[in-house]
Amino acid sequence: MAEYSLWVLEYATSPRVDMGDIVYGARGQGTRPMPYAYVVLQSRDHVAMVDVGYNHVDFGATLAELYDTAHWHGPREVLALCGLAPEDVDTVFITHAHFDHFGNVDAFPNARFYLAAREIERSVWALSLPERMQYPAASIDPGDLIKGTALARAGRLKLLTGDKEDVLPGIDLHLAPDTHSFESLWVHLRNDGRRPSSDGWVLAGDLVYAYENIGGTGKGAEAGQAYRPVGFAMGSQVNLVLASEAMLKCVDYERRRIIPVHEDKLKTMFPSRQREEGLAITEICLADGAVSRIG
């Protein structure tokens, strides 16, 4: 029995990302297209999202151009792919404070947000460093931190200092300090409501960019290759390996149950529909009785 439908919604795309950013040590091994996407989880009682993308204005647009990102679509158009509107969203889990994940909170007026406390604290710290030390602030839009502060003041931002079980029924949040970002958050959906779950999914944020990062798409602890951590990271590769192991353990080492939103292959591994460049829906699973949004 599946309680939630799960869709990955692509909202923009970057045609050429250096393999060195995707896989640690792979600099000079070519480029790959990288979709930008967020995740919708819909049950009978909730519409939740993992990340909200960015808004293509102001510094968000500047950063997007820096990363060669194109074909941006706003959340009203994107959420319509699964029959929803931004106002329907009641809960949002922000995996980390990079602009393409945290950059459009104001488009979701009825949502309550979750983010790691240390992620936002260290992001402010990173921005305070001198120009020559700005690498840790790459991908951070100061405007997003200001909007986050306003949400906190309005009682709509919950800042986590540890893991949180059953934040919504069947959904656990886990923190991964000093990995891709200062304190990334990953989401474990137990879609049968059980613990341990035999129908689990992990929304990995940028802890995983591509399946190479977690040893491919095979099943079983010994089936895959060694983990090769993401290249673009603020913390350590050791911590990324440990986070990969923690995520895979949750899904009994069935690697396709780890969902990396930037993985270009995702839309060929699951049923999907591409409307135009930068606008696609991938249907990871359907709740019992829910209507497919593909085809």
Chain residues that interact with Zn ion, rule: CB under 5 A = 98, 206
Between 232 and 270, CB nearer to Zn ion: 232
Between 84 and 185, CB nearer to Zn ion: 185
Residue 98: CB minimum distance to Zn ion, A: 4
Between 41 and 185, CB nearer to Zn ion: 185
Residue 168: CB minimum distance to Zn ion, A: 24
Residue 232: CB minimum distance to Zn ion, A: 7
List the 272-276 sheet strands across, edge first.
Answer: 157-160, 112-116, 91-93, 47-50, 31-42, 5-18, 279-285, 272-276
Between 101 and 228, CB nearer to Zn ion: 101
Residue 43: CB minimum distance to Zn ion, A: 27
Between 98 and 255, CB nearer to Zn ion: 98
Among residues 48, 24, 23, 28, which one has the least CA distance to residue 38?
48
Between 6 and 22, CB nearer to Zn ion: 22
Residue 97: CB minimum distance to Zn ion, A: 8
Residue 92: CB minimum distance to Zn ion, A: 16
Between 230 and 286, CB nearer to Zn ion: 230
Residue 101: CB minimum distance to Zn ion, A: 6
* Rg of the chain (C-alpha set): 18
Residue 180: CB minimum distance to Zn ion, A: 6
Q: From the centroid of its chain, how far is CA 32? A: 19
What letter would DSSP give residue 192?
Answer: T
Between 84 and 234, CB nearer to Zn ion: 234
Greatest Cα-to-Cα distance within the chain, rounded to the nearest angstrom: 55
DSSP letters for 212-281? GGGT-S-BSTTTS------SS-SS-HHHHHHHHHHHHHHTTTBGGGEE-TT-TTHHHHS-EEEEETTEEE
Strands (DSSP E) contained in the chain are: 5-18, 31-42, 47-50, 91-93, 112-116, 157-160, 164-168, 171-177, 183-190, 200-203, 258-259, 272-276, 279-285
Q: How far is CA 61 from CA 51, 76, 86, 150, in A?
A: 17, 18, 21, 21
The answer to whether the CB of 281 falls within 8 A of the CB of 7 is yes
